[in-house]
Amino acid sequence: MKSDLEALTRVREWYGLHSSTAAEWPVDSLLLAKGATTVSVVLPAHNEESTVGDIVTAIRRDLVERAPLVDEIVVVDSLSTDATASRAAAAGARVVAQEAVLSHLPPLTGKGEALWKGLAATTGDIVVFVDADLRDFGSHFVSGLLGPLLLDRDIQFVKGSYERPYTGADGVAHRGGGGRVTELVARPLLNMFWPELSGFAQPLGGEYAARREVLEQVPFVTEYGVEFGLLVDLLQLVGLDAMAQVDLGVRVHTHQSVAALGRMAGQIMLTAWSRLERQGRLVSPESPAHTLLQFGLDGQADLVDVGVAERPPLATLVLEEDVA
Ligand X SMILES: O=c1ccn([C@@H]2O[C@H](COP(=O)(O)OP(=O)(O)O[C@H]3O[C@H](CO)[C@@H](O)[C@H](O)[C@H]3O)[C@@H](O)[C@H]2O)c(=O)[nH]1
Ligand Y SMILES: O=C(O)[C@H](O)COP(=O)(O)O
Where along the sequence are the contacts to ligand X (CB under 6 A)?
44-46, 48, 78, 110-111, 114, 131-133, 204-206, 224, 227, 253-254, 256, 264
User: What is the nearest approach in angstroms of ligand Y to the Cβ of residue 283?
Assistant: 30
Residue 58 region by backbone torsions, left for phi larger than 0, else alpha for psi between -120 and 50, else beta: alpha
The minimum distance between CB 36 and ligand X, in angstroms, equals: 30
Min CB(283)–ligand X separation in Å: 27
**What is the end-to-end Cα distance of the chain in Å, rounded?**
46
Other beta carbons within 10 angstroms of residue 23's beta carbon come to 13
Query: CB 319 → ligand X: shortest distance, Å?
Result: 22
Question: Among ligand Y, ligand X, none, what does residue 131 contact (CB within 5–8 Å per kind)?
Answer: ligand X
- Nearest approach, Cβ of 72 to ligand Y (angstroms)? 27
- Which of ligand X, ligand Y, none interacts with 85 (beta carbon under 5 to 8 A by kind)? none
In the chain, what's the furthest Cα-to-Cα distance?
60
CB-based closest residue to ligand X: 206
Contacts for 240-243 with beta carbons within 8 Å, 24 or more apart? 240/10, 240/14, 240/196, 240/197, 241/14, 241/17, 241/18, 241/154, 242/154, 242/155, 242/156, 242/157, 243/18, 243/155, 243/156, 243/157, 243/158, 243/159
Pairing of strands 252-253, 291-295: unpaired
- Of all residues in this chain, which one has the CB nearest to ligand Y in the complex? 178
Identify what 180 binds: ligand X, ligand Y, none; CB under 5 to 8 Å per kind. ligand Y
Which amino acid would we find at residue 115? L
Instruction: Please identify, using beta-carbon distances, which residue of 128 and 181 lies nearer to ligand Y.
Output: 181
Residue 11 or residue 268: which is nearer to ligand Y going by CB? 268
Q: Which lies closer to ligand X via its Cβ, residue 27 or residue 206?
A: 206
Residue 164, contacted partner among ligand Y, ligand X, none, CB below 5-8 A by kind: ligand Y
Q: How far is the CB of 122 from ligand X (least distance, A)?
A: 15
Residues near ligand Y (CB under 6 A) are 164, 166, 178-182, 204, 255-256, 261
Please name the residues in contact with 36: beta carbons below 8 A apart, sequence gap of 6 or more. none
- In contact, 268 and 189? CB cutoff 8 Å: yes
Cβ–Cβ < 8 Å for 291, 304: yes
DSSP 34-54: HTT--EEEEEEESS-TTTHHH
Residue 76: phi, psi to the nearest 5? -90, 110
The least CB distance from residue 86 to ligand Y, in Å, is: 26
Question: Looking at beta carbons only, is 27 or 235 nearer to ligand X?
Answer: 235
Name the residue nearer to ligand X (CB basis): 73 or 150. 73
Looking at the Cβ atoms of 94 and 255, the one nearer to ligand Y is 255
Give the one entry of ligand X, ligand Y, none that residue 227 binds, where binding means its C-beta sits below a cut-off of 5 to 8 angstroms depending on kind.
ligand X
Distance CA 246, CA 232 (A): 18
Which of ligand Y, ligand X, none sits in contact with 233, Cβ below 5 to 8 A by type?
Answer: none
Cβ-based nearer residue to ligand Y, 181 or 221: 181
Reference 98, options 119, 71, 124, 72; nearest CA is: 119
Q: Give me the torsion for CA of 79, 44, 116, 41, rounded to 10°.
A: 140
CB of 255 to ligand Y, least distance (A): 4
Name the residue nearer to ligand Y (CB basis): 255 or 290: 255
Residue 237 and residue 116 in contact, taking contact as beta carbons nearer than 8 Å: no
Q: Look at residue 178 and give the partner it binds from ligand X, ligand Y, none, a contact being a CB closer than 5 to 8 Å depending on partner kind.
A: ligand Y
Residue 141 near which of ligand Y, ligand X, none (CB within 5-8 Å, type-dependent) = none
